Structure 1
C-alpha cells in the first residue's frame, strides 16, 4: 500500500501532466495563427512602404503579404522583416515571360536585386487571366509559368514557387461541390497542363474565394459560417456544408480531382468581407467583416481542412490590408481593409500584438469623396484592369527539368498595377446559386456572439485546473 507521501507525489505528477496538456489545447488560434494579407496601394492617404512593413512586423501577427506588382520600394521595405512576399507579374508581361530571354530578363530585374533579403515566396503570373478572355494571354499563360520557373531555377532561386491566381469563374456546376468541374475547353487546353506544371514544381493552385459574392439575405449565416446554420446538402457525397468558404474550396478540389490532380495544394490568394457597402445592403458592417475574418483565421489555422480535404491547411491571404479610397467600382471595393490608412484596426480579429482601439469616424471630406466615387448601384463584380496584349509568344519550349524537385521551403509563409482586383469571384457567370447578388433594402442582423470560443474554453479550463488543484492538495 502506498504511503500518503507517495500518493501526493503521484497526484502532483498527474496534475502537472494534466496542466501541460490543457495549457496546450487551450491556446486560442488567434494567438498563434499567422495569416497573409493583400497589400494594395490605390489610396491617396497611405503610409510609405517602409512604415507599413515595420507596422506589420512589429505590431501584428501577419507574416506574409501579397503584392499586385513588383514595386521595388515595397520589396526593399520587407527585407529582413521575416515577412514573406508574393509578387505579381503584370498581365501584359505574360507573352514576353513565355520566352526564355524575356523570363530571364524579368527575373534579373524583379527578383535578383531583392532576393533573398526579401523573402519572395511565390511569383503570381498575372491575375485572373481566364476572366480576361484574351486569347493571347490565355495561350501564353502556362508557357509563361514554365519559362519563368526555369529562369528562377537558372538564377539559383529554386525555392520560389510560380502560380497564377484564378477566380471561381474557372468552374461550372460548382454547387454542389461534388459536381464542380473546369469550364469546357479550358479543362484540357489550360488546366490540365497548368496542374501538371504545379504538381511537378510543387506549387499551389491559387484561387480567389469570396463567400461575400455568393450570399443573399437567406444564406448570410451560411456565408459567415455561423454555428447551427442549416447549411447546404451535397447529394453527391452526402455532406452538408455549413461554411460556404469550405464548399468553394471543395468545388475547386472536385474539379482538380476530375482531371487527376487532387494532390495539388490550394492557396487562397484573396478572400475577405467589406465593412461598408451600398446603404441598406444586408450583412455588411464591421461586425460581419470581423465575424467572417475571425472564422477564416481560426479555420485555416486549425488544420481541420474541409470535408473533402480533411487535415489540410491552406495558405491564405485576406483582402485587404487597407481601405483604399481611390479604387473604382462599388462602395464595397474601397472598404475591404483590415485597417484604416492610419493603421487603426477596423475591428479586432486577434492579429494585433497589442491593444486594439476603435476606428475613428471618417472625415466629412473623405465621405464626400467616396460618395462621388460610388457607382450608382452595388454590383457583385468589377472588371480587372487588363494590360494591352503584346502578341503571341514564339518561344514556348522550356526545360521541363526546372519543374521537378523544387519544393517550397518548409517555413514558407506564404501593389498597384494592371492585375489588381478584389471582386474576384463574381466576374463570370458561374451557373450556380452561390453567385446571387446580395439583396438590398434589408437591415443587417446582429452577428451571433461576440466572444470567441477560445476565450470561453480557457475559462472552463481554468475552472478545471482549480478543482484539480484543490483535490490534489487534499490527498
Structure 2
C-alpha cells in the first residue's frame, strides 16, 4: 500500500518548476536495456486475486518486477516460480522494533524465508519516506534498523541475494536550483544521510528516492514536466542544459550525494507516474497525458542517454501504479494513477502489453473482458498454492499419455521458465484442450483452474479453442 500523498517541493525559478512525482527507478550501469516494473498498491476493495495478477503480468505484459508496499504473504505466494523480481516494504511503525536483532531475525524468518527463493525477492525497503515524517524516533532508528535487518539476512545467508534500502521524498533536498547546487537538508545531511549512504555503499545497495513532478507542476511548467519542447533550465555552474524535469530531479539527488562523497552509490527512484483523471479544474490530467508521460519516461530510461550529470546510463523504472485504487483518500487523482483497472483492462497502453494482449485504449466507460483473454476462449492453468509434487504428477500423467509435451522439453519454446509450475500449466492445458475443454478435465485433484487470460508468452503458445 502506497504512502500517503505528502508532497515535497522541488523549486525552480519563476518560469521553471516546482516538482514532485510518482517514481521508482533503480539506477543501473550503462549499456543494458532497463527493465520496467510497477508498483502494486492494494488500497482497493475490487482488485483481482493475487494469483490472477501474477499470471496477467507474466503472460500478458513485459513487466518483470514489482514493488509491494508491505510483505503480503498471499501476493508473495502468488508470484512464486514466476521469476518476477519482487521488492517488499517494512512499515514505518516496525522500525524501532527492528533495531533489536532478535526481532529482525524473526521478521526475516516470518516474512521472507517462507517464500524465498521460490519467490524472487530482491530487496527489502525499510519504511517509506521516514525523514519526511519528522518523527525523531523513526529517524533516529532508521539506519540502526537497516543494519540490524541486514545482519539478520547475513545470519540467514540471504544477504548476497536480497538488498536493504529505504525510500526518501525530495524533501530531503535543499538548494535544488540549479541541480548542481543541490544538497541534503542541514541537520539530516551529516547525522542521518551520511551514515545511511556509507552503509548502503558497504552493502552495495542503492539509494532510493521518490520524486513527484505531478504535485508541483503548473500550467507554465507542464511542458517541462511532460518532456515536451520547452525553454528548459540552464545550470550556470556546470553549463548543462536541462530539457525535462526528470533529468533535473535525478541530477539534484546526484549532486547532493556527491557533496557528501557518495556519487558512486547507485540511485533508485521510488515511483513515477501521472494520473489519468483528476478534478475538473486540473490542467493536463487525462488519459492521453498520462499515457504520454509514462511512455516518455520509459523511452528516456531505456535510451541509455542518462542525465547531464550521469550520462550513458539506463535506469530500471517502476511505474506508479499497476491499478487504480478506489479506497485511497485525497483528491480524485490519487485514485487514478493505475495503468489497469481492477478487471485487468488497460486504462491506456504504454507499450508493456505483449502483442497478443495489446488492444486499443478503451473509452472511459467501455469496460471489456480482461486483456490477454479472448471472448469465448478458456485455458487450464495451475492453481495458486498447489504442491510441487502434485504438479509434477500432472506432468507425468499428461506426457505419459503420449500427448505432445515437446514444447516444455529443454530447447522447446515453453521450456523457460524452467519450473514445475510452468511446465505443469502447459501440460494441464494441453490435456484440457485435447479432451474437449470440459471443466472436470482441468481439476487435476484440485490443482487446476480455468482462466480467460491467455497464458501464452513469447514463442510459447498455449492451445485454445472457442468454447
TM over 0.5: yes
Contact 1:344 1:358 in 2 (8 A): no
Partner of 1:41: 42
Q: Which residue is 1:106 aligned to?
A: 107
CA contact (8 A) 1:214 1:223 kept: no
What is aligned with 2:440? none
Please name the residue that 2:173 is paired with.
171
Q: Look up the SS of the partner of 1:117 in the other structure.
A: coil
Identify the residue that residue 230 of structure 1 maps to in structure 2: 231
Residue number in structure 1 paired with 2:287:
286
Q: Tell me whether 1:70 sits opposite 2:71 in the alignment.
A: yes
Aligned to 2:458: none
- The counterpart of 2:360, out of the listed 357, 360, 364, is 357
1:308-327 → structure 2 map (5 Å cutoff): 308-327=309-328
1:316-341: per-residue Cα shift (whole Å, max 9, x none)?
A: 21110000111001111000001111
- Tell me what 1:295 maps to: 296
Contact 1:37/1:62 (8 A) holds in 2: yes
Q: Which residue of structure 1 lines up, in the alignment, with residue 306 of structure 2?
A: 305
Contact map agreement 2:167 2:207 (CA 8 A) in 1: yes
CA contact 2:54–2:79 (8 Å) conserved in 1:
yes
Matches within 5 A, 1:193-204: 193-204=195-206
Match runs of 1:216-295 below 5 Å: 216-226=218-228, 228-295=229-296
Q: Determine the structure 2 residue equivalent to 1:382.
A: none
Q: Aligned equivalents of 1:306 and 1:192: distance in 2?
A: 24
Deviation at 1:82, TM superposition (A): 1.5
State the structure with bigger RCO (CA 8 A, min sep 6), 1 or 2.
1
Partner of 1:400: none
Equivalent residue, structure 1, for 2:341 = 340
Q: Report if aligned partners of 1:344, 1:357 keep a CA contact under 8 Å in 2.
A: no
Please name the residue that 1:9 is paired with: none
Cα contact 1:223–1:243 (8 A) shared by 2 = yes
RMSD, matched Cα: 1.4
Runs of at least 5 residues in structure 2 that lack an aligned partner in the other structure: 1-32, 368-467
Of 144, 157, 162, the match for 2:164: 162
Distance 1:236 1:345 in 2: 44
The answer to whether the Cα contact below 8 Å between 2:325 and 2:338 also exists between their aligned partners in 1 is yes
Q: Distance in 1 between matches of 2:234 and 2:334?
A: 31
Match of 2:217 in 1: 215
Q: Deviations over 1:418-456 (max 9, x none)?
A: xxxxxxxxxxxxxxxxxxxxxxxxxxxxxxxxxxxxxxx
Q: What secondary structure is seen at the aligned counterpart in 1 of 2:64?
A: strand
Which of 176, 187, 190 is matched with 2:189 structurally?
A: 187
2:148 match: 147
After superposition, what is the alpha-carbon deviation per residue over 1:235-265, rounded to whole angstroms, capped at 9, x for unaligned? 1211110110110000000000000000000
Q: CA shift at 1:363, angstroms? A: 8.9
Deviation at 1:358, TM superposition (A): 2.4
Which is further off, 83-92 or 203-212? 203-212
TM-score (norm 1): 0.68
CA distance in 1, matches of 2:316, 2:201: 17
Deviation, 1:357, is 3.3
Three-state SS of the structure 1 residue aligned to 2:322 is: coil
